[in-house]
């Protein structure tokens, strides 16, 4: 007699999925803005365009967390990785001056644990609250045998809005403008394949090892959530006149070397003083353990700078004071030059401040 099979027999537990949705609903509701028409539970999320815009332009961004997920698996700590997911998307959105509106997530795993999923979504909800955007919907996918046991993958998608006349696109950047670097919380969510190869394979460190220069075990240091800069950037845009803040750069994959030139024209370059900020100890540790060259460090990691602003030199003091009021550290790290042959020219010694 042929047995009667169910979806659960193939590895998909519909009841676990339903339980996960019930966990998500109250978490998502905490993030709702007044523009929400319908959220979690339907086939799609509905969101009204905010009032007050004359010519609203929608802005979108999508990203993941990459191999930083491996740390969450090793430490069995899942309540902060969602913050990283939101940060990777909204920190890109704000680079054109946009205000994040809503966020959607994709959570995929082989064997759905509602409790584990809840932890992940808690982090996503916290990231949405921090960035003042709504967790409008998402997808939880159970794919039997596709991932290792208790592991999962994450992807995020965000939508923001900006007045067309106030888009920050770097078009008015000119020689003499200043580069203001704003501190990062650590590696953020980039360079983890190299960092983990160096620390856990080459150096063979235990994830709970405490280095003398670090206050926490190495695993916890590496899992530190990415800073979300939404409220800071919105405060700066509100305070300073349009066109005084000429460019905003999120330092992600490609580090300082690859990301900064993305916002200015091909006939310009910039000079960066590597001794103008204190490069956090974690980067020195990674470099020394892996005997990584300075050039590779600068094009792989953020090296302690999470966001770079390109601003009119006349507002240097006032904008750095405002950044301080918002409880972030900032540094004048360089300036724009007429140099189309070398987009980023570094001065100073990388290791000196490490």
Write out pLDDT tens, residues 302-313: 999 999 999 999
Predicted confidence at residue 60, as pLDDT, reads 98
Total structural domains in the chain?
2
Dihedral (CA of 152, 256, 288, 280) sign: negative
Q: Which of 293, 285, 316, 86 is nearest to 181 (CA)?
A: 316
Tally Cβ neighbours within 10 Å of residue 10: 11
Pairing relation of β-strands 46-47 and 36-38?
A: antiparallel
Q: Which two tokens stand for residue 264?
A: 């200015």
Predicted confidence at residue 10, as pLDDT, reads 67
For residue 71, what is the domain's CATH number? 3.30.1330.10
Residue 92 class from Cβ within 10 Å (0-12 exposed, 13-18 middle, 19+ buried)? buried
Looking at per-residue pLDDT, the higher value among 39 and 136 belongs to 136
**pLDDT, tens digit, for every residue of 275-291?**
999 999 999 999 999 99
* Residue numbers of the domain that contains 187: 178-353
Claim to verify: residue 115 and residue 201 sit in the same structural domain: no
pLDDT at 4 over 80: no
Last residue of a domain, one of 166, 201, 233: 166
Q: Which of 229, 228, 233 is nearest to 322 (CA)?
A: 233
Claim to verify: residue 268 and residue 215 sit in the same structural domain: yes
pLDDT grade for 351, boundaries at 50, 70 and 90: low
Claim to verify: residue 159 and residue 133 sit in the same structural domain: yes
Let me know: does 172 contact 243? Beta carbons within 8 Å: yes
Last residue of a domain, one of 138, 166, 194: 166
Claim to verify: residue 156 and residue 218 sit in the same structural domain: no
Predicted confidence at residue 354, as pLDDT, reads 47
pLDDT grade for 22, boundaries at 50, 70 and 90: confident
Last residue of a domain, one of 166, 197, 219: 166
Is 258 part of any domain? yes
Claim to verify: residue 148 and residue 188 sit in the same structural domain: no
pLDDT grade for 196, boundaries at 50, 70 and 90: very high
Predicted confidence at residue 200, as pLDDT, reads 97
For residue 216, what is the domain's CATH number? 3.90.650.10
CA distance 192 to 67: 6
Claim to verify: residue 158 and residue 107 sit in the same structural domain: yes
- What is the rounded average pLDDT for all residues in the chain? 93
Predicted confidence at residue 24, as pLDDT, reads 86
Claim to verify: residue 274 and residue 140 sit in the same structural domain: no
Q: Among the residues of 244-335, which ranges form H helices?
A: 255-259, 281-290, 294-300, 316-325
Predicted confidence at residue 339, as pLDDT, reads 77
pLDDT at 141 over 50: yes
pLDDT grade for 98, boundaries at 50, 70 and 90: very high
Average of per-residue pLDDT across 35-53 = 88
């Amino acid at each position: 007699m042929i047995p009667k099979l169910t979806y659960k027999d193939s590895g998909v537990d519909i009841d676990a999925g339903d339980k996960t949705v019930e966990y998500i609903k109250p978490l998502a509701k905490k993030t709702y803005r007044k523009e929400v028409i319908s959220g979690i539970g339907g086939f799609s999320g509905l969101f009204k365009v905010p009032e007050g815009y004359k010519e609203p332009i929608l802005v979108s961004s999508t990203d993941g967390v990459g191999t930083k997920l491996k740390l969450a698996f090793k430490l069995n700590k899942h309540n902060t990785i969602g913050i990283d997911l939101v940060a990777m998307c909204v920190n890109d959105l704000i680079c054109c001056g946009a205000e994040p509106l809503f966020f959607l997530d994709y959570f995929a795993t082989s064997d759905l644990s509602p409790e584990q999923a809840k932890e992940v979504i808690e982090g996503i909800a916290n990231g949405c609250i921090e960035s003042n955007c709504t967790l409008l919907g998402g997808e939880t996918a159970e794919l039997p045998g596709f991932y290792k046991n208790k592991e999962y993958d994450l992807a995020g998608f965000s939508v923001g809005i900006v007045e067309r006349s106030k888009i920050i696109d770097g078009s008015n950047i000119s020689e003499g403008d200043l580069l203001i670097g704003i501190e990062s919380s650590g590696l953020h969510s980039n360079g983890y394949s190299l960092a983990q190869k160096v620390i856990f394979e080459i150096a063979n460190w235990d994830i709970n090892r405490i280095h003398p220069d670090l206050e926490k075990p190495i695993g916890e240091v590496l899992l530190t959530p990415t800073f979300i800069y939404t409220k800071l950037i919105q405060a700066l845009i509100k305070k300073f006149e349009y066109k005084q803040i000429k460019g905003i750069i999120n330092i992600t994959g490609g580090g300082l070397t690859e990301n900064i030139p993305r916002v200015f024209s091909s006939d310009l370059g910039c000079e960066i003083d590597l001794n103008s900020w204190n490069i956090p100890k974690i980067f020195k540790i990674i470099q020394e353990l892996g005997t990584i060259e300075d050039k590779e460090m600068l094009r792989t990691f953020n090296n302690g700078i999470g966001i770079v602003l390109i601003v009119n030199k006349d507002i240097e003091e006032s904008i750095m004071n405002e950044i301080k009021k918002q409880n972030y550290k900032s540094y004048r790290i360089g300036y724009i030059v007429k140099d189309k042959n070398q987009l980023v020219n570094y001065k100073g010694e990388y290791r000196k401040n490490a």
